[in-house]
Structure 1
Amino acid sequence: MRFEGVQALRFVAAFLVLVTHASFYASARLDPSVGTWWFGAVGVDVFFVISGFVMMVSTPGLSRDGDGALRFGYRRVIRIAPMYWIATTVKILTVMAVPTVALHPDLSPGRVLASYFFLPTRGPTGETGVILGVGWTLVFEMLFYLLFTLGLALRLDPMLFSGGALMLVAAGSFLRPETGWPVWSYHFSFIVVYFVIGMALGRLVLSERLRPHTPRVAAGAVAATLVIALLPGGVAWENSSPLRVVAVTAFVTCVVAAEPLLRGRLPRPALFLGDASYSLYLFHPLVGPVVPVVLARAGLIDHTVATVLTIVLAVAAGAFLFRFVERPVTGRLRGLEPRVARVVLRRRQPAPAAVPADATARPDTAT
């Protein structure tokens, strides 16, 4: 089932992150006195709720399918990894060619290898993550996919299994010290709660018993969104703030509940940009900083102009990359799924039991 409102919401989430980064690039390279619009970071929270929701509504019945875990895992990998690897490679080549484009370049072999496998490492200045800055979110996405796939492989309810594990991970964030924590505890973050919220919302949509209560849930979500929107931003939108969690949950719930009104009415460009949101998210940090650098060399120190031009360039680049790179690559890899499944399943099938050579000659012994 395709939820067009959620599809368009993907672009909204990516756009929020883009605006925050565009204002940061302009501030860092043109005018440090102008602050960064950090509110857009909430787009990541929205992304994670959408991810949990999509996992539930797009995989019903997989837990009862013997090959469900294999098919799910393969589809998630080809959806996330190829474009991330391409973006990481572009970042590495760019830093090698022009080291000054990166604020904290670190291309040590261990860090490069770990980044390709979505494993965080600690950089020379103490920051922890992967080479591609925005790839930190994919570190959490891959953890979520791994747990979900494991639940499917064990024939367990993937929501209960992965949700329970993620809540333990979130609880670990309260035990981790502010500084000096080991790299292996990187995943201990409260932000993984949004995956669980998204899965719960997906279960609500799918459940016949809960579906009659959807209008009440939607009404409550609208009310919560309006109330929180009237609160001071600093109160409602701090990281891990309960109000921020409620606001993000209510906002996504409103979009999901409005699907009957949105379906068939959203403009095609909005749906296309929703499809292109992943390319936009991955590559905007690679093209965005170009604008303020060019403007600085031209002597045009204007924060607003730089931010707007960065947004326009990044959206155009994201749409182009989706159309001519992401969609063809993903489509070709999706076409290989049956062949990959046959190879893997053939190796998983146990060898047939040996039959004695004289079994057919002595039927009295084959009892």
Structure 2
Amino acid sequence: MAVFLFHLLPVFNFLGLESTWYEAVCSIGYIGVDVFFVISGYVMAQSSGGLSVGLDSVKSFAIKRLLRVYLGFWPMFLLMLLLFVVYQPEFLSTGNLVLSFLLLNPVQEQLIIPPAWSLTYELYFYLIIALSLFLLPKYRLWVVVVMFLVSAVSTLLSDQDHFFISYFLMEFALGYFVYGFANRLKNYIDIKSALVLVSLSMAAFVLWGILAVGVTRVLTAGLFSACLLHLLLLETRQLILPVWLQKFGDASYTLYLLHMIVINAVMATGMSQWFKDQGLALVFYITVVVLTVLMSLFLYTKLEKPVYKSAVKKLS
């Protein structure tokens, strides 16, 4: 949701709407990507932790993860491609459709769905975790530790970020570490302490991490994401989340992909301009936010989830 509101900010400005505090909050919404990477690292540790050593585990892990990513992505890719064909065909000559379709290009300016650049890093992390399944469970954590250290050293030594040793790998590793040490941490860090850590790490991000890259981003946005994840884990152990909130979380991947299609559609079709001219800018903006969330929930429930389950069942 944070990334959605961040990308929707130009529409907010185009409509002539003004709110200093709202724009300030939305302008740091890109931190949702850091949260996404950290949560992904946690999920990978959780989903691979109980797997045995060998090729069968690698195949099972890879099939489930690839289906999860691509079966959610490809329908959105086709929707965005149709939008470009109708309204912005000139873009299709500048991007690589094949690499964009296969999620093998991390350069967002060349992608049909720009936020999908993060999924290229996601797939790379899947590869690392899949390869670690050839090792005994007690050695797998060391693969992630080495990944973290290589990324940290290379980032400190070079001003340029390189894909295969990117600082984003450190954020995946942080999530993996949260899973590995969660049981130990809960004995030392209760909910109040976790709230303090979240507050301090958020303050550090606001003071030093905005627009930062490299190690600074990891030490601010990355650590905030890890602290937030640990807090949520503590909360969910003591509280039962409302059903609607659980469904919203389940549909977050769909929202992550769908929102750019909606934004492009409302701008390219002239809808934004029409509602602005009618003096209905705020109503239109709120409607776009609500409808996008509802469409995400619908597409996840009726398309992404059943297709994924069916595909896993057939291929397992």
Q: Report if TM-score (shorter chain) is over 0.5.
A: yes
Matched, 1:44 2:33: yes
User: Are 1:92 and 2:64 an aligned pair?
Assistant: no
User: Which one of 154, 172, 175 corresponds to residue 154 of structure 2?
Assistant: 172
Write the distance in 2 (CA, Å) between the matches of 1:213 and 1:314: 37
Match of 2:102?
117
1:131 aligns with one of 112, 137, 142: 112
Stretches of structure 2 lacking an aligned partner (at least 5 in a row): none
> 1:221 maps to which residue?
194
Equivalent-residue separation in structure 2 for 1:316 and 1:279 (angstroms): 11
In the TM superposition, what are the counterparts of 1:204-283 in structure 2 within 5 Å? 204-205=181-182, 211-218=183-190, 220-229=193-202, 233-239=206-212, 240-241=216-217, 242-262=219-239, 265-283=240-258
Q: Matches of residues 96-107 of structure 1 in structure 2 within 5 Å?
A: 96-99=85-88, 105-107=91-93
Query: Judging changes above 3 Å, is the alpha-carbon distance between structure 1 residues 337 and 198 closer, same or farther for their aligned structure 2 residues?
Result: same
CA RMSD of aligned residues (A): 2.9
Residues 1:191 and 2:180 aligned together: no
**Do the aligned residues in 2 keep the contact of 1:289 with 1:310 (CA within 8 Å)?**
no
Query: Closer, same or farther in 2 for the Cα pair 1:232/1:97, shift >3 Å?
Result: closer
**Normalising by structure 1, what TM-score?**
0.73
Query: For 1:42-81, what aligned pairs fall within 5 Å after superposition?
Result: 42-64=31-53, 66-81=55-70
Letter in 2 for 1:215: N
Match for residue 306 of structure 2? 328
Deviation at 1:319, TM superposition (A): 0.8
Cα distance in 2, alignment partners of residues 215 and 129 from structure 1: 47
Verify: 1:24 aligned to 2:1, yes or no: no
- Structure 1: any 5+ residue segments left out of the alignment? 1-14, 206-210, 339-367
Aligned length: 303
Higher helix residue share:
2
Deviations 1:102-148 (A, max 9, x none): xx82445x7111112222276xxxx6553310101101100100110
Alpha-carbon distance in structure 2 between the residues aligned to 1:98 and 1:212: 54
Distance 1:92 1:170 in 2: 37
Report the structure number with the largest CA radius of gyration: 1
| Deviation (angstroms), 1:291 | 4.0
1:39 alignment partner, SS class? coil
Q: Counterpart of 1:62 in 2: which secondary structure? A: coil
User: Could you tell me the percent identity over the aligned residues?
Assistant: 22
Distance 1:139 1:232 in 2: 25
8 Å Cα contact 2:58/2:130 also seen in 1: yes
Kept in 1: contact 2:106–2:118 (CA 8 A): no
CA distance in 2, matches of 1:143, 1:155: 21
Residue 127 of structure 2: aligned partner: 146
